Structure 1
Amino acid sequence: MNRSWVKACAWALVVSLALSGCATFDGSANVYSASQAQREETVRFGTVESVRGVTIDASNGQPGVLGALGGGLLGAVAGSAIGGGHGSLLSGAIGGIAGAVAGDQVQSHFAQKHGVEITVRLDDGSLRAVTQSVDGPMFRAGERVRLLSSGGVTRVTV
C-alpha cells in the first residue's frame, strides 16, 4: 500500500473523529455551563398544557465546513487511488466533491438532536413555551412543573 495514501487516510480519520465534537449545543435541562453554575435563578410554577416532539439543530443553520473538508479529503484520496495519470486526477476530483457533500450531510446529522417543546400555563395564567433536549423525565399534560430562568435561559423541571 502506498505510504502517502495511508498517511492521508489517517488524517481523514482524525478529521472525521474531530467532527463528532462539533455539535456543542446541548439544550438540556440537566446540563449547566460553567457560567451558569452558582447563579441565582428565578423559579415559577405552572402546569403543563402540551408537549410535542421537535428537532433541535445545533448548527444554527451554518454549513458544516469541517464535515465538508474531511469528507472531501477522504473522497479525493480514495478517488485518486483509482486509475492512473489523468484518470487518477479526475477520479480524485470527483471523489473529493462527493466526499465533501457526504461529509457535510454527516456533520448535519450529528448536529441534530431530539427535543420537546413544552407549553406551560403559569400560576398567574400566562403561557410559556420552552424547547429543550430530551434527556430526563418526559412531561405530560396536567403535570405540575417548575420553570427555572436565568440569563435568558429557561428550563422546565419537575
Structure 2
Amino acid sequence: MHKRILILPLFALALTGCVGGLGGGDYERSETRRAYEVKMGVVESVRSVNLEGTQSGVGMATGAVVGGVVGSEVGEGKGKTLATVIGAVAGGIAGAAAEKGVTKKPGLEITVRLDSGRTLAVVQEDTGERFNVGDRVRVLESGGQTRVTH
C-alpha cells in the first residue's frame, strides 16, 4: 500500500512534465494548416523571464488523494475522519504548489522593431534558440498567437 502512495506523486509529476513547449519552434497539432502572417524585423532587446508553472489540477488531485490516504492512517473514529480530511486538504494544497513549481520554465522577452516601424515584445519559452540585439528575425502571427524565430 505504501509503495502505491509513493508512486502516485511520481505519476502526477510525469504527467505535468508532458506539457507542450512554448518556444518559437514549438507548435501544437491544432496549429497545423493555419496561415501565419510573417513580418520581418530586428531584435532590439532580449531579457530572461520566468514562465509561471501550470495548474492543471493533476498535482492538487494527486496530493489530495495521497494526503487523504496518509491522514486515514492516523487516529480512530471521528479523529480518523478529521485526519483524513485535513490530510486531503493539505495534500491538495501541497500538490498544487508542487505542480506549479515543477512546471515553471525559463522564458525570453524579445523586443523586435518590425520593418513597418512598429515595435513588439514577444514572450516565449527559452528553448535554447539564441537571440541577440541586431539579429534579423521573423515574427509569425496567427489567431492571437505570436512567435519569434530566425
TM-score interval w.r.t. the shorter chain?
Answer: 0.7 to 0.9
- CA distance in structure 1 between the aligned counterparts of 2:97 and 2:9, rounded to whole angstroms: 15
**Among candidates 75, 89, 104, match of residue 97 of structure 1:** 89
- CA distance in structure 1 between the aligned counterparts of 2:101 and 2:79, rounded to whole angstroms: 33
Matched, 1:50 2:50: no
Give unpaired runs (5+ residues) of structure 2. none
What SS does structure 2 have at the residue aligned with 1:35? helix
**Among candidates 136, 152, 158, match of residue 144 of structure 2:** 152
Q: Once structures 1 and 2 are overlaid, which stretch shifts more, 134-143 or 64-73?
A: 64-73
- CA offset at residue 87 of structure 1? 4.1
Matched, 1:127 2:90: no
Matched, 1:10 2:26: no
What SS does structure 2 have at the residue aligned with 1:43? strand
% of aligned pairs identical?
38
- CA distance in structure 2 between the aligned counterparts of 1:64 and 1:148, rounded to whole angstroms: 28
Aligned residues: 149
Change (3 A) 1:12 1:72: farther
TM-score by length of 2: 0.80
Q: Is the 8 A contact 2:12 2:62 kept in 1?
A: no
Give unpaired runs (5+ residues) of structure 1. 1-5
Give the root-mean-square deviation of aligned CA atoms: 2.7
- CA distance in structure 1 between the aligned counterparts of 2:53 and 2:77, rounded to whole angstroms: 42
**Among candidates 19, 37, 51, match of residue 24 of structure 1:** 19
- CA offset at residue 84 of structure 1? 4.0
Match in the other structure for 1:35: 30
Change (3 A) 1:32 1:84: same
- CA offset at residue 15 of structure 1? 6.6
